[in-house]
Amino acid sequence: MGKVMKLMLVGLVAVGLVGMAVSVFAQEKTETPKATQVSGEIVSVDLVKSEVVVKKVKDELLGTYENITFKVSPETKISKKDAVLKLSDLKVADKVTVSYTTDEKGNQKVETIEVKAE
Protein backbone atom coordinates (compact mmCIF):
# COMPACT_ATOMS: atom_id res chain seq x y z
CA MET A 1 0.00 0.00 0.00
CA GLY A 2 2.90 2.36 0.76
CA LYS A 3 4.32 1.97 -2.77
CA VAL A 4 0.97 2.83 -4.33
CA MET A 5 0.74 6.02 -2.24
CA LYS A 6 4.30 7.01 -3.21
CA LEU A 7 3.56 6.44 -6.92
CA MET A 8 0.39 8.52 -6.67
CA LEU A 9 2.28 11.32 -4.91
CA VAL A 10 5.05 11.29 -7.52
CA GLY A 11 2.41 11.31 -10.27
CA LEU A 12 0.61 14.29 -8.76
CA VAL A 13 3.88 16.23 -8.39
CA ALA A 14 4.79 15.47 -12.02
CA VAL A 15 1.39 16.64 -13.27
CA GLY A 16 1.71 19.81 -11.18
CA LEU A 17 5.17 20.60 -12.59
CA VAL A 18 4.02 20.05 -16.17
CA GLY A 19 1.02 22.28 -15.54
CA MET A 20 3.27 25.06 -14.21
CA ALA A 21 5.62 24.74 -17.19
CA VAL A 22 2.74 24.95 -19.67
CA SER A 23 1.37 28.00 -17.83
CA VAL A 24 4.75 29.80 -17.97
CA PHE A 25 5.17 28.93 -21.67
CA ALA A 26 1.68 30.24 -22.47
CA GLN A 27 2.44 33.51 -20.68
CA GLU A 28 5.61 33.99 -22.73
CA LYS A 29 3.65 33.50 -25.98
CA THR A 30 1.06 36.16 -25.13
CA GLU A 31 3.53 39.05 -24.87
CA THR A 32 2.47 42.08 -26.85
CA PRO A 33 4.73 42.57 -29.87
CA LYS A 34 6.76 45.77 -29.87
CA ALA A 35 5.68 48.34 -32.45
CA THR A 36 8.14 49.45 -35.13
CA GLN A 37 7.84 52.84 -36.79
CA VAL A 38 8.76 53.83 -40.33
CA SER A 39 8.62 57.43 -41.51
CA GLY A 40 8.69 58.45 -45.14
CA GLU A 41 6.76 59.55 -48.16
CA ILE A 42 3.88 57.70 -49.80
CA VAL A 43 4.85 56.40 -53.25
CA SER A 44 1.56 54.65 -54.03
CA VAL A 45 -1.81 53.72 -52.59
CA ASP A 46 -3.61 50.62 -53.89
CA LEU A 47 -7.24 50.63 -52.80
CA VAL A 48 -7.94 47.21 -54.33
CA LYS A 49 -5.11 45.45 -52.46
CA SER A 50 -5.39 47.77 -49.42
CA GLU A 51 -1.68 48.54 -49.64
CA VAL A 52 0.44 51.63 -49.13
CA VAL A 53 4.03 51.87 -50.38
CA VAL A 54 6.25 54.20 -48.34
CA LYS A 55 9.68 55.41 -49.45
CA LYS A 56 12.06 55.77 -46.51
CA VAL A 57 15.67 56.82 -46.27
CA LYS A 58 17.91 53.74 -46.29
CA ASP A 59 21.27 55.50 -46.02
CA GLU A 60 21.38 59.24 -45.46
CA LEU A 61 25.08 59.57 -46.37
CA LEU A 62 24.67 57.74 -49.67
CA GLY A 63 21.26 59.27 -50.33
CA THR A 64 19.63 55.89 -50.91
CA TYR A 65 16.01 54.99 -50.31
CA GLU A 66 13.93 51.86 -50.05
CA ASN A 67 10.25 51.24 -50.67
CA ILE A 68 8.29 49.32 -48.05
CA THR A 69 4.84 47.91 -48.80
CA PHE A 70 2.33 47.88 -45.95
CA LYS A 71 -0.93 45.90 -45.99
CA VAL A 72 -3.64 48.05 -44.41
CA SER A 73 -6.42 46.25 -42.53
CA PRO A 74 -9.84 47.56 -41.48
CA GLU A 75 -8.44 47.83 -37.92
CA THR A 76 -5.62 50.18 -38.98
CA LYS A 77 -6.11 53.68 -37.55
CA ILE A 78 -5.31 56.37 -40.11
CA SER A 79 -5.21 59.97 -38.93
CA LYS A 80 -3.95 63.49 -39.54
CA LYS A 81 -3.80 65.62 -36.40
CA ASP A 82 -7.15 64.87 -34.74
CA ALA A 83 -8.97 63.89 -37.94
CA VAL A 84 -9.74 60.24 -38.70
CA LEU A 85 -8.96 59.33 -42.31
CA LYS A 86 -9.67 56.43 -44.67
CA LEU A 87 -7.20 54.66 -46.92
CA SER A 88 -8.71 56.53 -49.88
CA ASP A 89 -7.73 59.86 -48.22
CA LEU A 90 -4.02 59.04 -48.47
CA LYS A 91 -2.21 60.65 -51.39
CA VAL A 92 1.12 60.16 -53.14
CA ALA A 93 3.79 62.43 -51.58
CA ASP A 94 2.03 62.55 -48.17
CA LYS A 95 4.61 62.38 -45.37
CA VAL A 96 3.61 59.59 -42.98
CA THR A 97 4.70 57.57 -40.00
CA VAL A 98 3.58 53.94 -40.08
CA SER A 99 3.51 51.98 -36.84
CA TYR A 100 3.34 48.19 -37.15
CA THR A 101 3.96 45.00 -35.22
CA THR A 102 5.39 41.72 -36.46
CA ASP A 103 4.19 38.38 -35.08
CA GLU A 104 6.36 35.33 -34.47
CA LYS A 105 5.64 34.12 -38.02
CA GLY A 106 6.94 37.38 -39.52
CA ASN A 107 3.52 38.75 -40.50
CA GLN A 108 3.17 42.52 -40.21
CA LYS A 109 0.09 44.19 -38.76
CA VAL A 110 -0.17 47.90 -39.44
CA GLU A 111 -1.50 49.53 -36.28
CA THR A 112 -1.49 53.22 -37.28
CA ILE A 113 -0.68 55.54 -40.15
CA GLU A 114 -0.18 59.14 -39.09
CA VAL A 115 -0.13 61.75 -41.86
CA LYS A 116 2.16 64.63 -40.96
CA ALA A 117 0.67 68.10 -41.05
CA GLU A 118 2.08 70.34 -43.76
**Structure confidence at residue 117 (pLDDT):** 87
User: Which stretches in the chain have pLDDT values below 50?
Assistant: none
Q: Are residues 23 and 81 in the same domain?
A: no
Q: Are residues 108 and 64 in the same domain?
A: yes
Q: How many domains does the chain have?
A: 2
| pTM (two decimals) | 0.71
- The whole domain housing 71 covers 36-115
Q: Are residues 15 and 46 in the same domain?
A: no
**Which CATH number belongs to the domain containing residue 64 in this structure?**
2.40.50.320
* pLDDT, tens digit (0-9, with 9 covering 90-100), for 56-73: 999 989 999 999 999 999
Residue 110, burial from CB neighbour count under 10 angstroms (0-12, 13-18, 19+)? buried
Helix (H) or strand (E) holding 94: none
**Structure confidence at residue 58 (pLDDT):** 92
- Per the CB < 8 A criterion, the answer to whether 51 and 71 are in contact is yes
Q: Are residues 17 and 58 in the same domain?
A: no
